[in-house]
Structure 1
């Protein structure tokens, strides 16, 4: 599994489920905590008639409350690789 700072919500779930069956993750830490609120449900307040959404589920997937889900192999993206259209994380994953 490839991760980066844009990996959030369902992507974190996919990484955790894949790791549970032996997959490894490569890349950067995720952009969201692995324990998070989700399953948004819209509602309208009765008095003010304002539209809101509320999260109805808390995904408590890892111990503690870490800021991110760190990959098994940390491979930071860098600007110099991006300038020459090189994806070192994908190269490593395919090696």
Structure 2
């Protein structure tokens, strides 16, 4: 059986095709409200705390935004599987 922890989710915010992964403490409701408020007015910058730093993205009424929660397998056993590779199986 797999050692993956499927209870752990990460939030991906895709803005015009660019993916941003929010930090675990991010308030998703607040992020969604800020996106809606900016999209209803003049274009403006949305600042997000991401897993790789701070991102500021220009949002307008025509910006395409997709928010998705997905399983976080970053702490899975996948690394162990790669490290236990047996070279004797090479042809």
Give the alignment's TM-score, normalised by structure 2. 0.28
Give the alignment's TM-score, normalised by structure 1. 0.27
Structure with higher RCO (Cα < 8 A, 6+ apart) = 2
Q: Which has the higher strand share?
A: 2
For the pair shown, which has the larger CA radius of gyration, 1 or 2? 2
